[in-house]
Amino acid sequence: MKTLLRIFLVEKKYLIPGLLMCLGFCFFYGCAASKTAVKSAQYSFNYEGSDYRIQCIISDTKDECQNRLMSKDLLAIDHNMDQTIDEIVRGKLEFEAVQKIYAHGLEMALKDNKLIIRIPENGSYSYEDEKYTYKIESYQSGFNQRFNELKVLDKNKQINQEISIFLDQNADGTLNKVLKGTLSMEVVQEVYSNMIETGLANGAMEKIDNFIIVKEK
């Protein structure tokens, strides 16, 4: 099964071993919002007549990072740098419209050689049936706030495997939003609930405070 990629936006001047090591930490410890940062880079682009920019932020602790899509009327965050918007902080656009803008910006940045692509090593819990692979990934957003993403991958595809992404915004075992794809959330919820039950039983997942998350490896 092809491993999903993480994408980091960087300025060329930041392409040094020290920064690459710092970026690598994000895969192992997850990404979260931070008010302070010692490294950042941004890429500006135009989409359908409006100006946007994508900003990559790495915190002063070097283990927290995120991509931000911004304009004068929009602030959206890709907490785990997997090319999918997780949260719209400000703005009236729907997730689908914001995702299209973000995808366009990443594509333009890639063409301009402004992206680093890295592969995550752990931090997920998976289950497979005959057709799909289901993967739960847990993240921290801000202070003491967790969320889960359930990603559904088509086992029969070598590329573009990821077909649907669902958000459990409180990491409480209930899916709240469809971030991508057309699979029924009601049907996938049953799989998600079974995965959590099994994961808690076999130690792959854990309950911390009121959050049910993937256990750190």
Is 1 a domain residue? Answer: no
Looking at the structure of the chain, the number of domains it has is: 2
Q: What is the pLDDT of residue 182?
A: 86
Q: What is the pLDDT of residue 60?
A: 55
Domain membership of residue 88 as a residue range: 6-118
Q: Are residues 111 and 12 in the same domain?
A: yes
* 3 state DSSP class of 8: strand
DSSP string over 106-175: HHHHHHTT-EEEE---S-EEEEE-SSEEEEEEEEE-STT-EEEEEEEEETT-SSS-EEEEEEETTSSS--
Q: Are residues 15 and 87 in the same domain?
A: yes
Amino acid symbol at 137: E
The pLDDT averaged over each successive group of 10 residues in the chain (217 residues) is: 41 31 30 46 93 82 74 92 87 93 90 65 81 89 76 78 87 93 93 97 94 87
Q: Are residues 97 and 19 in the same domain?
A: yes
